[in-house]
Structure 1
Amino acid sequence: MTTSAIAVTGLRKTYGDKTVLDGIDLDVPAGTVFSLLGPNGAGKTTTVNVLTTLTKADSGTVRVAGYDAATAAKSVRSAIGVTGQFAAVDELLTGRENLQLMVDLSRGAANGVVAELLERFELAEAADKPAATYSGGMRRKLDLAMTLVGNPQIIFLDEPTTGLDPRSRRTMWTIIRELLADGVTIFLTTQYLDEADELADRIAVLDKGRLVAQGTPDELKRQIPGTHVRFRFESVAELDTAARILPGSTRDDESLTLRVPSDGGTRSVRELLDRLDEHSLDAGEFSVHTPDLDDVFLALTGHDTTEVVAK
């Protein structure tokens, strides 16, 4: 049975007369990547602040790594690592010195951890150069390496790839997958929908202080209408026949394609193919198209993706 790294029930938080979190329930299985999405003002930062013991909840229960965040905050802090949106490195220190500083501040750091992390994050060659000379991607890697000094069970990553070039972004994704393989739990907030789609085992969508959806990326996509099967034919005559026998379809004469509404499941796709076969039609190609997370986000929150961006 999978244990919960984070378990939240009925979480509420208000500031004055403004309700920021209105009864949040979350369950994050250990050893998974969980992504929290939401527009500006949805309550994501407040949620993370509560989970990391920076803010106290007004009501509800919050357990992180098995500890109650309200009564055992010190134990929670010893089990987690937090990497903020902006790299928290000392630019006057070298990469090695930044890591050594974290070792000196941490009671749980293992011997040789500095050299190990420099090698793991491909920072060994630049280890003795000031962090001020590092690129944005290198700083983000150093920041995450510093988070790992204490060997945390759970890592909170707040927009870890914001501002990175595509190559550095991919490198960070690889590092996150390696952490996952080591059994670390990742709580990810991101402004990139494709990042959540690529990395997250489960996603929760927060809007106006309430969770409006939770599930795997595929489960969330299936909630949104718009899935269809696309057929391409070799002639207008074949397209005419297919459009006639497949009601509700939308044709494109220029590309000789036909879009047919479908749930994308094996049975429904097979039925469409059988229908074509009954009329001796052979599509040159066909593919199943489903809504992406951008469609999901817009449908669930009713907002433009001003904060969460599809790339």
Structure 2
Amino acid sequence: MSTKTKVPKQPLSEQLSVGIPDAGMFEDIPKIRRVAGDSAGPRMKGKVVIVTGANSLQGIGRASAHQYAHNGAKAVFICDYSDNHLETHKRELNSLYPDVDIHPRQFDASNEAAVKAVCEEAIQKYGRLDVYFANAGIATGAVFTDIDSAEFMTMMRVNVLSVFLGAKYAAKAMLLTSPSKPHPSGSIIGTASVAGLRSNAGSTPYSASKAAVVSLMQTISYQLAGTGIRANAICPGVIETGMTSLMYEAARARGTEKKIGQLNPLKRGAVADEVARVALFLGSEESSYVNGQAWAVCGGLSAGHPFVPGRLS
């Protein structure tokens, strides 16, 4: 049996430090108390964001960077190991959102020194870090008996270690306070998968790595208890991204594209922006009481035991 982990004393969140303010009265009834700001305005106003895995043309990282910028972020760091599209993404974002600082950064998200450096850069430039979206990842379709230990550990390094390091250094940055940010706060988001929630949605090493991301976010949320820093996982289902492009291209060539996603209740696959909307929610104060959760964005696939209608007789 493991001993209880001793958590070091950390600064408290605004809600624990000063409480949730009274909103006053309307006639003889109390007004609604709120933690988040106005939900009708830009949801990321003034926030500094780091997104890894942002190079892919069809990826969740790129789509999320657009959502953060569109919703008023002060700065967005778009990061990836591959950087052949990052400068183009920067030009596109600058053309659409000229008031948002866009910083392309090329590095391996599982390299500790590089992750530490980008978090420290955010603090040096802006005095704050509000969102770290650990989205870098790889996949394989190989059967586990055909995968050697080196390939397995590569999957763990890219998909799990990158999230751990991102959370580690993002949390340290988010704990810092300043005149513009008098209390610690922030949102750490890790890309997991429905394959991390249910079996038979991905290969063995991929599924194991994504289950680990879910566990990381759950345990980290408790390690950061009381700080106002939240940690959540996003669990996409079938999404058209660079990672699934071969499947989509093959289906289109066969004329069977409409069969993609047929096992989920929505009967379709998704585009990256549909996942990015959840990343936006989790990165904003709209999700101020959402913590330690695994958010399935899968069209309902993870809600049941999929079967093909008419095939059970």
Q: TM-score, normalised by structure 2?
A: 0.29
By percentage of residues, which structure has more helix? 2
Which has the higher Rg, Structure 1 or Structure 2? 1
By percentage of residues, which structure has more strand? 1
